[in-house]
Amino acid sequence: MYLRELTQKPREISGVGPANARLLSLLGIETVAGLLEYFPRDYQDRQKPVTLAEAIRGGREGAAVWANTVIWVDDLQFLGFGKKRTPKFRVHDSSAAGALMGFNRPFLAQTLKPGRPYRLWGSFKYRYGEFQSTDFEVEPCPPSGETGETGSGGEESRGGFGRILPVYRLTRDLRLKSLRSFIADALRTYGRHIEDELPAPLIKRRGLLPLNRALQEIHFPGDFSACGEAARTLKYRELFFLQLGVARRGAARQRERRGPPADRGRENPAEWEGFLRRLPFSLTPDQEKVLEEIRRDMDSGFPMSRLLQGDVGAGKTLMAFMACLLAAARGGQTAFMAPTEILARQHGDNASRLLEPLGIRPAFLGGGLRARSREELLRALKAGEIDLLIGTHALFTPEVEFANLRLIIVDEQQRFGVAQRSALQNKAGFPPDVLLMTATPIPRTLALTVFGDLDISVIRTLPEGRRPILTHTVQEAHLDRVYRAVRRELERGRQAYFVYPAIGESEKTRLNSAIANCTELTCRVFPDFPVTLVHSRLKEEEKRERMEGFVKGRFKVLVATSVVEVGVDVAQATCMVITNAERFGLSALHQLRGRVGRSQLQSYCFLVFGGDLTEDAKDRLKIMRETTDGFKIAEEDLRIRGPGDLAGTLQSGYLELKIADIARDAGILEEAREDALALAREDMELNREENRGLKEFLASGPAAAVIP
């Protein structure tokens, strides 16, 4: 029987009644399999003796230290009156004395007898002039010669003394002791019968434990070495299933044919030279390498599936336009999708400037188009009279039809869902070339997991002459210093952004708002410089006019929300001021900072914070101050936020890892990927008998899902 087949309800487990079943459900445990895969978050080492003196010393130093010792009860007192009075026991061991407070446990008065020895597991703190424990477990010491311990896999020696016990995340009213008992019973009843989906040769080669033993040791380990082996086995298992799905999809793509051969009649090497001559700079070595990778993909007989990573300002759009040139030269059309109209319009303007002189026919599909203009554009697209269509989500609507769609480019791909990208790909009559781009660098471990079936290109170096952006963290009380620094830049003819987390005032959040601060900046701080305001509630036409005014220099200060996070490229903008910076994530802060430093001018970013900072907020601001390397920032973002949030795919069950962590377990991930790729090459359809379990597992649910 495979683990996933244990679909029995927890009510089948001894002691799980309707009330406990509801509590387990709150933890997401709906089946016996879910109970067995509810892994401990920590362990209590009840094997190692810890005297009262050691626990008390830890309490003095502020650390939580649990005593694990034999104590004698000296005295019993009661606090309060009536049935709810609290028993208080004065106890000692060979090293020190303390007190046990039996809150809500009046029965202890009948259980603990003065003068007798007991095993104690408890945490002590200094209260009311003495060291007390309110969180403790006790049991009578067994008669001489008896240990009272059970073998590995049993739950307790009543209190579990002499063993390593698991600690789980709990919900209200669910006792830790009860959850341990439920899992121990599930292991006794079902655990020994569980088969492993992983092939036996793979288990042997990687030195993994059988699954049934791994489950036993992860919950009730005989020692910490066995616990470590079990954790490694279960982490490998999770990561291997993810990587196998990715590897099989990659292998399947390599078998796909692009469709009819491209018409190369329009190819003209002079177009490349003309395009490069129009650029105000030379390509960097990274850009040349990426361009060669894209060209090689598009020359092959298989559809390109490539992810292009590059920091803000690294030149990804330039690579995309050169891919458009290749597609158009072969008689194909390109769909270029961006997440915001601001960014899409900017791409449209740049395409007109760089590509139209070479005979490429670009068009922009925006929300502000009049009905007649939209109809004419869609007719021309369907007739093949448009080579490059740039737009936002409107591109994947049903009325948008292409004559010969051969290339799809998705900018800031993380802002689009899987279904949206698939809808665009379905507009081609055969598998098209796909180029995904992101200015939010993806950590290697996350890229291998989420985008492991894609080829990945990276632009690490910025164009020559760009200076690192100088970043400062500033308390809100010292905001005037920021204003003075920005004024100096404005007086030199530069421009500045002021970004706020909220559009308008709100008593609930009390965040700085763009509207209120725009008035302040206009009337008091910079009355001699033109200021404008942009946020998501403005009509698209008004938003576009104000953005164009800033781009063309009519406005010197742009007040905005995070709507300017992507798609604004103004060479003269040298100051970025982010207020309530502690409320923004690392990715957003990095993207916003990337709106400046777009030329050879020295640029500055001011991260303004107010109030008490959480530890995570302190971490984020420190990282931003210390580095402008987007790849380092991405690694730190992964560490702080975790993989599910960054991947944006939790809604489909993807990356819902129960025990593995792709950042911390990078070594295991690499092993799993290596094995999955080898297996996909040798037996892609998983038809060998030894791979039967894998085939059934991948066919059974979301573990088979990968990002297309």
Q: Given pLDDT bands bounded at 50, 70 and 90, which one contains residue 121?
A: very high
Instruction: Say yes or no: 368 and 480 in one domain.
Output: no
Among residues 417, 438, 459, the one where a domain terminates is 438
Most confident residue range from 252-261, 339-348, 482-491, 616-625: 482-491
Give me the CATH number covering residue 129. Answer: 2.40.50.140
The answer to whether residue 453 is domain-embedded is no
Give me the CATH number covering residue 403. Answer: 3.40.50.300
pLDDT at 254: 65
pLDDT at 455: 83
233 CB-contact burial (10 Å; exposed 0-12 / middle 13-18 / buried 19+): buried
Instruction: Say yes or no: 50 and 111 in one domain.
Output: yes
The answer to whether residue 287 is domain-embedded is yes
Residue 650, pLDDT above cutoff 50: no
Secondary structure (3-state) at 334: strand
524-530: list long-range contacts, CB under 8 Å, 24+ apart: 525/483, 526/483, 526/486, 526/487, 526/490, 526/556, 526/557, 529/490, 529/556, 529/557, 530/554, 530/555, 530/556, 530/557
pLDDT at 147: 42
The answer to whether residue 27 is domain-embedded is no
Q: Given pLDDT bands bounded at 50, 70 and 90, which one contains residue 643?
A: low
Determine what percent of the chain is predicted with pLDDT higher than 90. Answer: 44
Range of the domain at 575: 470-627
The answer to whether residue 250 is domain-embedded is no
Say how far apart CA 365 and CA 369 lie, in whole Å.
7
Structure tokens at 376: 């004419």
pLDDT at 146: 45
Q: Given pLDDT bands bounded at 50, 70 and 90, which one contains residue 656?
A: low
How large is the average pLDDT for residues 184-210? 93
How large is the average pLDDT for residues 30-48? 93
Least confident of 31-35, 245-249, 525-529: 245-249
Instruction: Say yes or no: 432 and 480 in one domain.
Output: no
Say how far apart CA 155 and CA 152 lie, in whole Å.
8
pLDDT at 156: 44
Instruction: Say yes or no: 336 and 429 in one domain.
Output: yes
Q: Give residue-wise pLDDT tens across range 269-321.
A: 666 676 777 776 778 889 999 999 999 988 887 889 898 988 777 888 999 99
Instruction: Say yes or no: 283 and 416 in one domain.
Output: yes
Say how far apart CA 651 and CA 247 lie, in whole Å.
22
Residues 6 or more apart in contact with residue 335 via CB below 8 angstroms: 389, 395, 402, 405, 407, 408, 409, 424, 427
pLDDT at 203: 95
How large is the average pLDDT for residues 93-111? 91
Among residues 167, 185, 205, the one where a domain terminates is 167
419 CB-contact burial (10 Å; exposed 0-12 / middle 13-18 / buried 19+): exposed
Instruction: Say yes or no: 432 and 512 in one domain.
Output: no
> DSSP letter at 299?
H
pLDDT at 151: 36
Average pLDDT, the chain: 85
> DSSP letter at 446?
H
Among residues 141, 167, 193, the one where a domain terminates is 167
The answer to whether residue 415 is domain-embedded is yes
Query: Is the distance from CB of 545 to CB of 552 less than 8 angstroms?
Result: no
Distance between terminal CA atoms of the chain?
Answer: 32
Instruction: Say yes or no: 432 and 548 in one domain.
Output: no
Q: Give residue-wise pLDDT tens across range 430-484.
A: 889 999 988 777 777 777 777 777 788 888 877 777 788 999 999 999 999 999 9
Determine what percent of the chain is predicted with pLDDT higher than 70. Answer: 87
Say how far apart CA 661 and CA 357 lie, in whole Å.
50
Q: Indicate the pTM of the whole model.
A: 0.67
pLDDT at 649: 40
pLDDT at 257: 58
Instruction: Say yes or no: 611 and 476 in one domain.
Output: yes
Instruction: Say yes or no: 480 and 621 in one domain.
Output: yes
Instruction: Say yes or no: 603 and 546 in one domain.
Output: yes
The answer to whether residue 97 is domain-embedded is yes
How large is the average pLDDT for residues 561-575? 82
How large is the average pLDDT for residues 6-28? 93
Instruction: Say yes or no: 498 and 622 in one domain.
Output: yes
CA 592 to chain centre: 19
The answer to whether residue 8 is domain-embedded is no
Instruction: Say yes or no: 395 and 492 in one domain.
Output: no
The answer to whether residue 445 is domain-embedded is no
Number of domains in the chain: 3
CA atoms within 13 A on the CB side of 689: 0
More confident residue, 339 or 313: 339
pLDDT at 639: 75
How large is the average pLDDT for residues 412-425? 71
Q: Given pLDDT bands bounded at 50, 70 and 90, which one contains residue 682?
A: confident
pLDDT at 454: 79
Say how far apart CA 297 and CA 369 lie, in whole Å.
35
CA torsion, ordered 212, 213, 215, 216, to nearest 10 deg = 120
Residue 390, pLDDT above cutoff 60: yes
